[in-house]
Amino acid sequence: MNKTINVIKSSDTELGVMLSPGYPYKFKTIFGKAGNVRNVIDYISIPEYPATLLGKTVLDSRDISLIKKFKKVKIENYHAIIASVLIERVKSDKKIIEMMKEEKYTYVSNFIKKSKLYGKVVEYKAPKHGMKVYCNILTKINELVYNDNLNDTTAWELIESYMENKESLIGDLIEKKENAAQ
C-alpha cells in the first residue's frame, strides 16, 4: 500500500508542503519563469493576469486584490497544461526527485475541518476543492519517477492523457498570453 501525502501548505510531510500549489519555488514553465504553481494556474485561467506576477514567489495584498478583480475562464486542455507545469516543477527540484524515488506515494489534498455535532467539536478531513486531478497527476508523476521512467516520451504521454481536445494546441494559449502581454 502506498503512503499517502497530503498536498497542502500545512502538510505534515515536507514533500506535501513542497508540492502544494502556493509553495514558493522558482522554476521554468512553457509560459516563462514561475514563482509557484498557483501563479501559473491563475496566469492561464485569468486572461488579464499580469505577466509580471507569474515569477513572484509570494504575492502581496495589492497583487491579490488586483487578481481578485478578474474572472477566471474555462481553459481548453486545462488539466493537460497543469500536468505539464507539475512535470516541470518536479523535474526542477532534485530534492523532490530524491523523495519520489524512495517510495510510490498517493497524493491527496485534505484540510482539517472542525464542526459541532451534538454539542461536541468534531475534527475531520475534508477534501480541498479542485485538487483531485492535481493530486492524481502528482501520483502518476511519482510513479514515473519511482520507476526511473520520467523522460520526454512518458511526460508527453501523461500530458496527452489529460487532453480533452487533441486538436487544440497548448501553443495557442501561449500565443494568446504573449499577445495579451504586449
Backbone phi, then psi, for 124, in 5-degree steps?
A: -150, 160
The more confidently predicted of residues 181 and 52 is 52
Please tell me the predicted confidence (pLDDT) of residue 120.
Answer: 73
> Residue 46: CB partners within 8 Å, gap ≥ 6?
67, 70, 71, 72, 73
Q: If you average pLDDT over residues 142-153, what whole number do you get?
A: 96
Number of domains in the chain: 1
What CATH number does residue 147 fall under?
Answer: 1.10.357
Among the listed residues 143, 158, 148, the one whose alpha carbon sits nearest the alpha carbon of residue 104: 143
Encode pLDDT of 84-116 as tens digits: 999 999 999 999 999 999 999 999 998 676 667
Instruction: Work out the end-to-end distance of the chain between its first and last CA atoms, rounded to an integer number of angstroms.
Output: 50
> What is the chain's percent helix, strand, coil content, to nearest 5?
45, 15, 35
What is the spatial distance between Cα 60 and Cα 50, in angstroms, rounded to a whole number?
Answer: 14
Please tell me the predicted confidence (pLDDT) of residue 178.
Answer: 60
Please tell me the predicted confidence (pLDDT) of residue 179.
Answer: 59
Encode pLDDT of 27-60 as tens digits: 999 899 999 999 999 999 999 999 999 999 999 9
* Secondary structure class of 28 (helix, strand, coil): strand
Its domain, for residue 45, covers 3-181
